[in-house]
Amino acid sequence: MAIALLASGCASWEKVGKDPSSVPGGCPEFNLAVNNWVGYEANAAVIAYVAETKLGCTVTKKNLDEQVAWQGFADGKIDAVVENWGHDDLIAKYITKQRVAQLAGPTGNQGKIGWYLPPWLAKAHPDLTKWQNLNKHDDMFRTSESDGKGQLLDGDPGFVTNDAALVSNLHLNFKVVYAGSEAALITTLKQAERNHDPVIAYFFEPHWFTTEVPLVPVELPKYTTGCDADPAKVACAYPNYKLNKVVSNKFAESGSPAYDLVKKFHWTNKDQNQVAQYIAVDKMTPEAAAKKWVDAHPAKVKAWLK
């Protein structure tokens, strides 16, 4: 998803937040990673808008896959990742081993990943809401890309997913096929509901789309602590994620007021879905969407700037 590059000059400082004279060097350039789903884009849009308009920062947004974004912590090319979905492997590499990054607190968003059906299909075949029954109907989901098996539609190959291992370890006659992007996944699910096409797909929350089409989850084997420790042996549902932020150590120690903003940034799934909907559905620019939300929630923004 293409995101416009933000590069604004220092704006006038408002009395909300810190005075730039109290911070050595004022607000230096803030390099903000933008991962490729609209919920993350909503986080980044609001943080960037507040940093620019309230703190006088110059923000550079960089559109990067999750794993690539973390590589930028070591060389200073990335200051912050503002929606992290677990990634124990990246935490071990960049925080524990290389010691170039650190956690910066929760975003307030509660994340959930799973397999979902369009509402019409769950109503017509309620047994499909149990994973044990999927093989009984695998022929229903066959496509030209699924090699004679049922198709499990995933989104972007860079998204967090255990689906290939789940299909194998649960002995399902299905093949994971990638839609290629979040937008393509949503388009397929919309068409499936409208045209009564059979689709089973990876999806996640928070997401504005679930307020438009109330997707029905497929019940997978219950998640227990450690059941996903070995990626090749995963045979359980995804955990519930408390989404958080990650910053470079250099950024955390820079004295930049943008770091304080990132650390204090905290909102709800509803907040994120609102901004994401402005961007994805109402076709507002990220800057305009952020301004609309910020103008309507001055108390929340003020709390981030104390």
Instruction: Read off the CATH number of the domain in which 177 is found.
Output: 3.40.190.100
In a domain, 14, yes or no: no
Same domain, 131 and 183: yes
Q: Are 130 and 226 part of one and the same domain? A: yes
Does 128 lie in the same domain as 226? yes
pLDDT, tens digit, 9 for 90 and up, residues 251-273:
999 999 999 999 999 999 999 99
**The last residue of a domain, from among 233, 264, 288:** 233
The number of distinct structural domains making up the chain is 2
Average pLDDT of span 150-169: 93
Of 177, 206, 233, the position where a domain reaches its end is: 233
Q: Residues 178, 220: one domain?
A: yes
Please state, for a pLDDT cut of 90, what percent of the chain lies above it. Answer: 84
Q: What is the 3-state secondary structure (H, E, C) of the chain?
A: CCCCCCCCCCCCCCCCCCCHHHCCCCCCCEEEEECCCHHHHHHHHHHHHHHHHHHCCCEEEEECCHHHHHHHHHHCCCCEEEEECCCHHHHHHHHHHCCCEEEEEEEEEEEEEEEEECHHHHHHCHHHHEHHHHHHHHHHHECCCCCCCEEEEECCCCCCCCHHHHHHHCCCCEEEEECCCHHHHHHHHHHHHHHCCCCEEEEEECCCHHHHCCCEECECCCCCCCCCCCHHHCCCCCCCEEEEEEEEHHHHCCCCHHHHHHHHCCCCHHHHHHHHHHHHCCCCCHHHHHHHHHHHCHHHHHHHCC
In this structure, the number of other CB atoms found within 10 A of the CB of residue 262 comes to 27
Per-residue confidence band for 12, with pLDDT thresholds at 50, 70 and 90: very low
What's the CATH number where 38 sits? Answer: 3.40.190.10
pTM: 0.82
On whether both 115 and 228 belong to a single domain, the answer is: yes
Band (pLDDT 50/70/90 cuts) for residue 23 is very low
Q: Do residue 116 and residue 165 come from a single domain? A: yes
Instruction: For residues 147 and 163, state if they share a domain.
Output: yes
pLDDT confidence of residue 136: 96
- In this prediction, residue 24 carries a pLDDT of 41
On the question of a cis peptide bond just before residue 206, with omega within 30 degrees of 0, the verdict is yes
Task: Identify whether residues 165 and 187 lie together within a single domain.
Answer: yes
**pLDDT score recorded for residue 34:** 97
* 238 domain residue, yes or no: no
118 and 166 together in one domain: yes
- Residue-wise pLDDT for 64-79, tens only, equals 988 899 999 999 999 9
Which residues span the domain enclosing 179? 111-233
Q: Which of 175, 204, 233 lies at the terminal end of a domain, its last residue?
A: 233
Q: Are residues 119 and 163 in the same domain?
A: yes
**Are 75 and 221 in the same domain?**
no
Average pLDDT score over the chain:
90
